[in-house]
Amino acid sequence: MTQSEQKQPKLLTLKQACELLNCHPNTLRAWDEKGYLVAVRFGTRRDRRYRREDIMKLLEKNKKAD
Protein backbone atom coordinates (compact mmCIF):
# COMPACT_ATOMS: atom_id res chain seq x y z
CA MET A 1 0.00 0.00 0.00
CA THR A 2 1.42 3.36 -0.99
CA GLN A 3 1.63 6.29 1.37
CA SER A 4 -1.06 8.22 -0.54
CA GLU A 5 -3.42 5.23 -0.32
CA GLN A 6 -2.96 5.14 3.44
CA LYS A 7 -4.06 8.79 3.74
CA GLN A 8 -7.27 8.25 1.78
CA PRO A 9 -10.41 7.39 3.73
CA LYS A 10 -11.41 3.74 3.64
CA LEU A 11 -15.11 4.62 3.51
CA LEU A 12 -16.56 7.03 0.98
CA THR A 13 -19.77 9.01 1.12
CA LEU A 14 -22.40 8.52 -1.53
CA LYS A 15 -21.25 11.71 -3.24
CA GLN A 16 -17.57 10.71 -3.21
CA ALA A 17 -18.35 7.26 -4.62
CA CYS A 18 -20.50 8.81 -7.36
CA GLU A 19 -17.70 11.15 -8.33
CA LEU A 20 -15.25 8.25 -8.68
CA LEU A 21 -17.70 6.11 -10.64
CA ASN A 22 -19.14 9.02 -12.64
CA CYS A 23 -22.72 7.98 -11.91
CA HIS A 24 -25.89 9.35 -10.32
CA PRO A 25 -26.58 8.72 -6.60
CA ASN A 26 -29.75 6.82 -7.49
CA THR A 27 -27.63 4.39 -9.52
CA LEU A 28 -25.52 3.58 -6.46
CA ARG A 29 -28.64 3.21 -4.33
CA ALA A 30 -30.07 0.76 -6.86
CA TRP A 31 -26.80 -1.20 -7.00
CA ASP A 32 -26.89 -1.42 -3.20
CA GLU A 33 -30.46 -2.75 -3.23
CA LYS A 34 -29.53 -5.34 -5.88
CA GLY A 35 -26.34 -6.36 -4.05
CA TYR A 36 -24.06 -5.25 -6.91
CA LEU A 37 -22.14 -2.77 -4.73
CA VAL A 38 -23.06 -3.13 -1.07
CA ALA A 39 -23.01 -0.08 1.18
CA VAL A 40 -22.15 0.06 4.87
CA ARG A 41 -24.99 1.76 6.77
CA PHE A 42 -24.32 4.21 9.62
CA GLY A 43 -26.28 6.02 12.30
CA THR A 44 -29.97 6.49 12.89
CA ARG A 45 -30.39 7.94 9.40
CA ARG A 46 -28.79 4.80 7.94
CA ASP A 47 -26.47 6.87 5.74
CA ARG A 48 -24.62 4.88 3.11
CA ARG A 49 -20.84 4.60 2.98
CA TYR A 50 -18.97 2.67 0.35
CA ARG A 51 -15.68 0.86 0.82
CA ARG A 52 -12.94 2.44 -1.29
CA GLU A 53 -11.63 -1.06 -1.95
CA ASP A 54 -14.99 -2.14 -3.44
CA ILE A 55 -15.14 0.98 -5.64
CA MET A 56 -11.61 0.40 -6.94
CA LYS A 57 -12.36 -3.27 -7.69
CA LEU A 58 -15.46 -2.24 -9.63
CA LEU A 59 -13.46 0.31 -11.63
CA GLU A 60 -10.77 -2.29 -12.43
CA LYS A 61 -13.39 -4.85 -13.42
CA ASN A 62 -15.04 -2.38 -15.79
CA LYS A 63 -11.68 -1.29 -17.20
CA LYS A 64 -10.86 -4.90 -18.11
CA ALA A 65 -14.27 -5.35 -19.75
CA ASP A 66 -13.59 -2.43 -22.11
Mean pLDDT of 11-24: 96
Residue 47 has pLDDT above 60, yes or no: yes
User: The whole model's pTM is what?
Assistant: 0.79
CATH architecture for residues 9-65 = Orthogonal Bundle (1.10)
Pick the closest to residue 55 from 33, 34, 40 (CA basis). 40
Residue 65 has pLDDT above 80, yes or no: no
Q: What is the mean pLDDT of the chain?
A: 89
Other beta carbons within 10 Å of 48? 19
Q: Is 42 left (phi over 0), alpha (psi -120 to 50) or beta?
A: beta
